Structure 1
Amino acid sequence: MKFSPHSLAVAAALIALAGCATRPTEGTTEINLVAINDLHGHLEADKFTYAGVGEKKERTVQAGGIDTLGAALQAWRKEDRELLLVGAGDMIGASPALSAMWADEPTIGALDLLGLQVSSVGNHEFDQGRIELLRQQKGGCASPRAEKACKFDGAWGGAKFDYLAANVIDANTRKPLLPPYRILESKGVKIAFIGAVLKDTAEVVASANIAGLQFGDEAEAVNRLLPELRKQGVGVFVVLLHQGGRTAAEFDKQYCDDLEGDLVPVVRKLDPAIKLVISGHSHKGYLCKVDGKLVTQAQMGGHMLSRIKLVVDRQTNQVVDVSARNVVMEKGAFGSDPRAEAYLAKVRQRGNAELAKPVARIAVPAVTRDAKGGDESALGNLVADATLFGGRPYGAQIAFMNTGGIRATLETGEGNVVSKGQALAVLPFGNTTTVMNLTGAQIRALLEQQWVGDKAETRGLLQVSEGFTYQYDLRKPAGQRVLEASLNGIPLDDNASYRVAANNFLAEGGDAFPMFAKGTNRAETGIRDIDSLNAYLARREQDQKPAGLAPAQPRIVRVR
């Protein structure tokens, strides 16, 4: 196999780092872990741009893919056959079409092939509801998305690895939905891996999918397990926490001390005996210290893996040292893994024929979700218009779309033709459309919910459909920022009722937009967002008005 000069440099650096690694002293044992988080069904490599410590210029490489991950793990297991592969959630959900079209079963199968042992559950594991999550874990074909389940490889036997969730409780039974922990052994040392998901999961998952579940405080759920684990002879505890932070530090800086975000107070509340927290959710690569604990995250999509070493004192059964580094999974840098390559080839063969089918021709080679410094994007406008199109038979006049639900730029092939796979990459959740009545005053209040507090921070402005426009001024106090709002040039009447369309996630108050939940005369259409998008693109082509061009006039205007 041929290697690029950069690939050889990466390999040399890894060898050098391995030679400098901390060696266990007499009476201690070294445990090797590899951690992955937020894979999101990325079975194939894609572009990844990064710069490490001391690198002034960013580089762009092909990174990730289960074949690359398999090759790296194969090489590292030659160094330590007892290496443990663990995860920090969102292994599935918001996945590319190659995984999403088969209910993410190919990704779970790939993780089994890679030897994943345990993973905390992430918020995206709840995207299709508890029934589907438990089916994916335990097996079977009874699924809320029967058109996808068990269609990839026949009968589904379930994941071989364990999903863990110490802080997710069934409100009826008062028992954990999933195991809170699993004890694994390496070099004769028992290690307890404790899983938890962000306590605010209810704010980012459709409420119908988590009905009857309670999400408790992450640190409290973890800490109360330690006495039980100690009775089982465990003195080494690793927290797999699907909650994230942010830092200005490079992904490979050892070690940052400026970690911020919701993750930090959780780590500070953890028992001092916990020396390692493997995190996820924020899609940021970092290696940081918080109150003496090492906190890691390995970006997302399989672009990197975290290599972690625990040094354990055999006499005290406690961790005396922990170290880590994040390694970019550059394609071709780790040799090959024939089993992973064969598996990926099988998935591609099964999926590509269906995904390659054309949907429609559009006006441009790609429609981007990048707002380019503004408040709306060409793709946001397009998806909102498609949502309105799907809701028209139910009287829809206005449609809204959350930016977080748009997962990728809409790419095209030859002749600007969009394929099924390219469309599905944009809207992989399988959300359905809900149409409801909101008054003009409620719509204004809804728009005010886009900003948080006096600082006017936004989670990403809602994208709006054609014909609806408004202005806003961030210099105004909270609750008074929305100025003019109109539909087809006519100002909204606070007392009039309007038919509003949104995906079911938003319609239930998701993404912290509770005003949607107050809508009346609700019509649960059952129309999938991806079907509305495909039908809208096809209609525009049929009408000889191909979609994709940005509107001549902005729909959202900021007054400065």
Structure 2
Amino acid sequence: MTFSPRTLALATALSAALGMLGGCATTPSGPLAEINLVALNDLHGHLEADKFTYAGVGDTSQKTVHAGGIDTLAAALQAWRRDDRELLLVGAGDMIGASPALSAMWADEPTIGALDLLGLTVTSVGNHEFDQGRIELLRQQKGGCASPRPDKACKFDSRYDGAKFHYVAANVIDANSRRPLLPPYRILEAKGVKIAFIGAVLRDTAEVVASAGIAGLQFADEAESVNRLLPELRAQGVGVFVVLLHQGGRTASEFDKQYCNDLEGDLVPVVHRLDPAIRLVISGHSHKGYLCKVGDTLVTQAQMGGHMLSRIKLVVDRKTNALVDVSARNVVMEQGAYPADPRAVTYLAKVRAKGNAELAKPVARIATPAVTRERKGSDESALGNLVADATLFAARPFGAQVAFMNTGGIRANLETGSGNVVSKGQALAVLPFGNTLTVMNLTGAQLRVLLEQQWIGDKVETRGLLQVSEGFSYAYDLRRPAGQRVIEATLNGVPLDDNASYRVAANNFIAEGGDAFPMFAKGSNRAETGVRDIDSLTAYLVRREQDLKPAGQALEQPRIRRVQ
């Protein structure tokens, strides 16, 4: 990823070569500076390597390797920094949140410490950085132990000093002060060149985060928020702009194809509206690996969980302070590919030593080796049903008759160990958010509207249908007009009465209207139970074992039926 001094001196030849690489080079007028970036997105607290299956350009079959883990990332970065001590590691959000138990059990403080060890300099916030609300996000940035999660904060170490890296977000606005909640950008310098890293998160963050934690925050248009900063940055001598945007796209192209032109999704119109001076967007959110061009702008993403890193090269004309070209490649972080970094090995060993004893504690025996969240052509999964049943079980003391669960809140299959016994860590992997349960009243008519809201726009393709608890079932017909697709709905075999009131349970995220289910927010006689979803799940698993009816047995009848 470095040019020789002789090549750097040959400006014209280099410009031509870069034009072939990046597709749009500018003829330099002076000496060139080469700046190396490494980008990471959607780590989600994955401190350890796991299995990763992929196929790159020219691969005839898929490969499965162990990839990721902070020890693997640290080893690669250590090797690359030997070639360039000024290499900059940057991020595109969701570094924390929806994390495995090894991080989640300590409020993701081990992951923040790991990112500091890796030398992360700046990252945009992602929607998951807001999972626990603005107060917790600011604590994680600044430090301290005053947390909405006192059972987790400052339990990994007795003190927490905050992240050394910086969160940036140009489009997250405090409604009272009308000022950004976080710095909108950070200017870093490498090879004598100032580079502005501008952060933004998807403007629909409020739809995918519990509303109570983000009260008083507004999420503005991404492109407008970024573009208005450029005059201010130019006044500070900045001529190179990189956008760290937690919004994603999708493509049929391989993760390492240079450079795809078929990127689709919500990210694309945002990039089209960015100032033409912005030639690089480092993206996240969609958990895809790609290197694509949108107009003259290179857009990258490095999958998720630390399975990949994006290596990006900026070439800057020192005389004009202008970006001559940008190129990138995605590198799979296969375990063992680089000599170990002893600091990271020691750090990971510390985290494991503190966590494994607690996470290995048995919870209960279930009926199968694993209960999966895969829907396999159906609208419901075995694990979705199980979590909905656990929610109903915990909420019955509050009068609940039916419970709903969003598929996006279930982050992993329910795995077991010897004898089909679920451990605490395996249960936490399923429900890492620490949501609490809310119970409310909805009429039969409101429940029908709620079910119809599942097909608003195209969201059902990405979020799936709500998972429903035992005793509740319905049928739908997509050939019918929107708003009239639910053709029957019953509770314990009795059709819903539009005028009757039913007691409904859900996690606090969707209960506040999250995931674009506004009907939940209209529920009356609300009770905030204070019961955490993970506690409801483990209690339910224990009760089922005690009743000699271990959870995970196959259902006799589907709860959701599509009429063909």
TM-score by length of 2: 0.95
Q: Distance in 1 between matches of 2:169 and 2:528?
A: 31
SS in structure 2 at match of 1:449 = helix
CA contact (8 A) 1:34 1:306 kept: yes
- Aligned to 1:252, which of 237, 252, 256? 256
Specify the SS of the correspondent of 2:38. strand
TM-score by length of 1: 0.96
SS in 1 for 2:154: coil
Match of 2:413 in 1: 409
Which piece of structure 1 moves more, 198-207 or 22-31? 22-31
* 3-state SS of paired residue (1:327): strand
CA distance in 1, matches of 2:553, 2:155: 36
User: Is the Cα–Cα contact under 8 Å of residues 39 and 302 in structure 2 kept in the other structure?
Assistant: yes
Instruction: For residue 21 of structure 1, report the CA deviation from its aligned partner.
Output: 13
- What is the aligned partner in structure 2 of residue 303 from structure 1? 307
Say if 1:458 and 1:119 are closer, same or farther in 2 by CA, change over 3 A: closer
Amino acid in structure 2 at the alignment position of 1:274: I
Q: How far apart are the structure 1 equivalents of 2:458 and 2:411?
A: 29
Residue among 99, 103, 121 paired with 1:95: 99
| Residue in 1 that maps onto 2:486 | 482
Letter of the structure 2 residue corresponding to residue 393 of structure 1: P
Is 1:546 the counterpart of 2:550 in the alignment?
yes
Q: Give the equivalent residue in structure 1 for 2:144.
A: 140
1:36 equivalent in alignment to 2:60: no
Structure 1 distance, partners of 2:129, 2:562, is 36
Distance in 1, matches of 2:144 and 2:269, equals 39
Counterpart of 1:377 in structure 2 is 381
Name 1:271's counterpart in structure 2: 275
1:278-333: per-residue Cα shift (whole Å, max 9, x none)? 00000000000001000000000000000000000011101011000000000011
Aligned-pair CA distance for 1:237: 0.5
1:452 to partner: Cα distance: 2.7
Q: 1:83 corresponds to which residue?
A: 87
CA distance in 1, matches of 2:60, 2:168: 40
Query: RMSD between aligned alpha carbons?
Result: 1.4
Q: Which residue of 1 aligns with 2:430?
A: 426
Partner Cα distance (1:153, 1:521) in 2: 41
In structure 2, the partner of 1:211 is 215
Distance 1:455 1:508, change over 3 A: closer
Instruction: Tell me which residue corresponds to 1:182.
Output: 186
Q: Which residue of 2 aligns with 1:160?
A: 164
Contact kept? 1:23, 1:30, Cα under 8 Å: no
Report whether the alignment pairs 1:288 with 2:292: yes
**Letter matched to residue 157 of structure 1:** D
Q: 1:61 to 1:22 in 2, by over 3 A?
A: farther
Q: Paired residue for 1:331?
A: 335
Aligned residue among 46, 50, 60 for 1:46: 50
Task: State the alpha-carbon separation in 2 of the partners of residues 262 and 125 from structure 1.
Answer: 20
* Aligned 8 A contact 1:119 1:163 in 2: yes
The alignment status of 1:511 with 2:515, answered yes or no, reads yes
Q: CA deviation at 1:459?
A: 2.8
Distance 1:266 1:56 in 2: 34
Q: CA deviation at 1:22?
A: 12
* Stretches of structure 2 lacking an aligned partner (at least 5 in a row): 12-30
1:100-139 to structure 2, matched below 5 A, reads 100-139=104-143
Query: Cα deviations across residues 412-459 of structure 1 (Å, max 9, x unaligned)?
Result: 011100000000000000000000000111111101111134997563
Match among 337, 352, 358 for residue 362 of structure 2: 358
Distance 1:306 1:154 in 2: 35
Partner residue of 2:371 out of 358, 364, 367: 367
2:477 to 473, 480, 490: 473
- Could you say what secondary structure the match of 2:535 adopts? helix
In the alignment, which residue of structure 1 is the partner of 2:206?
A: 202
CA distance 1:445–1:220, shift in 2 (3 Å):
same
Deviation at 1:54, TM superposition (A): 1.1
Identify if the C-alpha distance between structure 1 residues 316 and 45 changes in structure 2 by more than 3 Å, giving closer, same or farther. Answer: same
Distance 1:323 1:458, change over 3 A: closer
Note closer, same or farther for the CA distance 1:143–1:552 as it changes in structure 2 (3 Å cut). same
The 8 Å contact of residues 438 and 528 in structure 2, kept in 1 or not, is answered as yes
Q: Which runs of 4+ in 1 moved over 2 A?
A: 17-26, 452-459
Could you list the per-position Cα deviations for residues 60-112 of structure 1 after superposition, in whole angstroms to 9, with x for gaps in the alignment? 11000000000000000011000000000000000000000000000000000
Which amino acid counterpart does residue 438 of structure 1 have in structure 2?
A: L
Aligned length: 544
User: Aligned in 2, Cα 1:415/1:517: closer, same or farther, shift over 3 Å?
Assistant: same
Q: Quick one: distance in 1 between partners of 2:477 and 2:78? A: 55
Inter-CA distance 456–108: structure 2 relative to 1 (3 Å threshold): closer
Whole-Å separation in 1 of the counterparts to 2:6 and 2:515: 44
| CA contact 1:306–1:324 (8 Å) conserved in 2 | yes
How many Å separate the matches in 2 of 1:21 and 1:375?
59
* Cross-structure match for 2:60: 56
Q: Secondary structure at the match of 1:192?
A: strand
Mapped pair 1:442 → 2:446: yes
The reply to whether residue 498 of structure 1 matches residue 502 of structure 2 is: yes
Q: Which residue of the partner structure matches residue 399 of structure 1?
A: 403
Match of 2:537 in 1: 533
- Give the SS at the match of 2:163: coil
The answer for the alignment partner of 2:19 in structure 1 is none
AA partner of residue 543 (structure 1): D
The whole-number CA distance in structure 1 between the counterparts of 2:3 and 2:192 is 24
Query: Residue type of the partner of 1:389?
Result: F
Give the secondary structure class of the aligned counterpart of 1:450. Answer: helix
CA offset at residue 153 of structure 1? 1.1
- Cα displacement (A) at 1:511: 0.2
In structure 2, the CA distance between the partners of 1:164 and 1:444, relative to structure 1 (3 Å rule), is same
Gaps of 5+ in 1: 1-16
Counterpart code for 2:377: G
Q: Classify 1:454/1:503 alpha carbon distance in 2 versus 1 (closer, same or farther; 3 Å).
A: closer
CA distance in 1, matches of 2:459, 2:447: 22
Contact 1:46–1:62 at 8 Å: present in 2 too? Answer: yes
1: distance between equivalents of 2:36 and 2:459?
Answer: 44
Moved more, 473-482 or 449-458: 449-458
Identity %: 83
Match of 2:247 in 1: 243
